[in-house]
Amino acid sequence: MVDDNESVRSYIADLLKKAGWAVDTADSGRHALDLLKSGLNPDVVLLDVMMPGLSGMQTLDQLRNNFEEIPVVMVSVAGSARKIVAAMQRGAFDYLTKPFDEEALEAVLGRAIEKRRASDGVLAKASAVEKETTIWQSPAMQGIHDVIEQVSDTNVTILIQGESGTGKEVVARRIHERSDRSKQPFVKVNCAALPSELLESELFGYEPGAFTGASSRKSGRFELADKGTIFLDEIGEMSPGLQAKMLQVLQDSEFTHLGGNHEIRVDVRVVCATNRALEEMVADKRFREDLFFRLNVVNIFIPPLRERMDDMLRLAESFLGRFGAQYAKPPREMSERLLFALARYDFPGNVRELENLVKRVVILESEDSVLRDLEEASDMNRGGECRLMDLIEEVEETAGELPLKEVGRRVAIEAERDAIRRMLHKTHWNRKQAAKLLNVSYKTLLQKIRECGLEPEA
């Protein structure tokens, strides 16, 4: 453990010793290098980034040059994507952002030990199962995984919330895989993909003659999921009438086919997901309150990728390997330019967008189109940020001479300009579509475009 802060050094050393680790400490990068040169041979080095004298990054460079076989885990309060990318590019095994919990620390050290043993010929290459654990390595996802471990073998209903593309289905499948129902069916239903009438027949089945075209008996998805798990994706899109029937099924575990009278009883674990704010929908009377409480026994929220950028590099590398094998493409590494472009990007489409970007790189065997899109988006975002920073600097330089009301007005203009520019970019300058998405009239949008000085892109 290398850290110039004695209290941090002692705390982590004591923590690890209680967990059964043998720990040596150093108060500087130079001290650590001297210890290694004298014969100390640790399985892994925990290295603080911010240290006087020889910095953490400089120490990392020397460790990689002289003790390449030792995995180095960087530790810092500064967990920006740029710093993480830089550390990984210079050979760090992983990067922990303070404060971190004991479980996250031990998980990282465990993987580092495996890497060290593998390099010594003790372990073979990581198995496919180990590779699949990539998404659970960050503190945020480790917390979700801990909840899954606690509830997977119970029969409680689980509601998974988060933006589109964050991995809600991955979490749902993980719940099923870790439960005692894992050998039984996992049945997914997308509630947004079908009109209400078709969704009802899909969920609960029907008898011959129940409606036009119903020529034979059909089992519903709840029957197909009997003894297993049913995953109701986009539950917020379910119609009020179907919500009432769903509540009955959750309460009684019984339902009837459309056009039938016979009660059908099932034993099904229900997992739901939505990217909608169901609490707000309940307040607006667009989602049944009693159904919400029934679904929300255990709530799992998946943060967007932009809030857990330490996951981004691991996921990108995992996707790179997976798609390379899937499409029989030669092994490749991402360039430093692409890594920095990814680190600067907000990923509005979350993990799904990252997956698609990496897939495009693999299939085309070129980074050019992805780089062009990422850098164009980053340049567009930085325009608004730069103007806002200029305003902040002006306020500082004038020592408060600029009235607060004027500051608020100009900030509001910048926010409005940025929102309009982003939407026009998203719709490829289709003003009518942009006006609809921004919930303003077409005439108002045209006026705002003139006021904000936005010009069509070439």
262: CB partners within 8 A, 6+ apart: 256
Residues of the chain with pLDDT under 50: 122-132, 457-458
pLDDT for residue 92? 86
Residue 155's SS3 state is coil
CB atoms within 10 A of CB 323: 17
E-strand ranges in 105-237 read 158-161, 186-190, 229-233
Sign of the Cα pseudo-torsion (363, 115, 33, 1, in order):
positive
pLDDT for residue 142? 83
Query: CATH assignment of 6-124, given 3.20.20.110, 3.40.50.10260, 3.40.50.2300, 3.40.50.2000?
Result: 3.40.50.2300
**Alpha carbons 317 and 48: distance in angstroms, whole number:** 24
pLDDT for residue 124? 35
Residue 430's SS3 state is coil
Instruction: Tell me the Ramachandran region of residue 151: left when phi exceeds 0, alpha when psi lies from -120 to 50, beta otherwise.
Output: alpha
What is residue 448's DSSP assignment? H
Q: Domain 140-301 sits in which CATH superfamily? A: P-loop containing nucleotide triphosphate hydrolases (3.40.50.300)
**Alpha carbons 375 and 345: distance in angstroms, whole number:** 8
E-strand ranges in 5-87 read 45-48, 72-76
Residues of the chain with CATH 3.40.50.300: 140-301
Instruction: Tell the CATH topology of 307-451.
Output: Helicase, Ruva Protein; domain 3 (1.10.8)
Residue that is written with structure tokens 């209400």 in the block: 196
Residues of the chain with CATH 1.10.8.60: 307-451
CB atoms within 10 A of CB 392: 12
What is residue 19's DSSP assignment? T
CB atoms within 10 A of CB 400: 9
pLDDT for residue 126? 36
Residues of the chain with CATH 3.40.50.2300: 6-124
**Alpha carbons 392 and 413: distance in angstroms, whole number:** 14
CA nearest 312: which of 169, 166, 170?
A: 166
Q: How far is CA 158 from the centre of its chain?
A: 19
Residue 235's SS3 state is helix
**Alpha carbons 178 and 211: distance in angstroms, whole number:** 40
CA nearest 348: which of 377, 313, 319, 318?
A: 377
Helix extents (H) in 205-349:
221-224, 240-252, 278-283, 289-295, 310-326, 336-343
**Alpha carbons 316 and 342: distance in angstroms, whole number:** 9
pTM: 0.60
pLDDT for residue 49? 87
E-strand ranges in 3-80 read 45-48, 72-76
Instruction: Return the structure tokens found at 220.
Output: 């519903």
CA 172 to each of CA 135, 356, 455: distance values in angstroms, whole numbers, following the listed order: 14, 21, 45
Q: In angstroms, how far apart are the furthest CA atoms of the chain?
A: 85
Which amino acid would we find at residue 216?
A: S
Q: Evaluate whether 289 touches 329 at the Cβ level (below 8 Å).
A: no
**Alpha carbons 166 and 141: distance in angstroms, whole number:** 11
Cis, peptide link before residue 331, omega less than 30° from 0: no
Cα-Cα end-to-end distance for the chain: 54
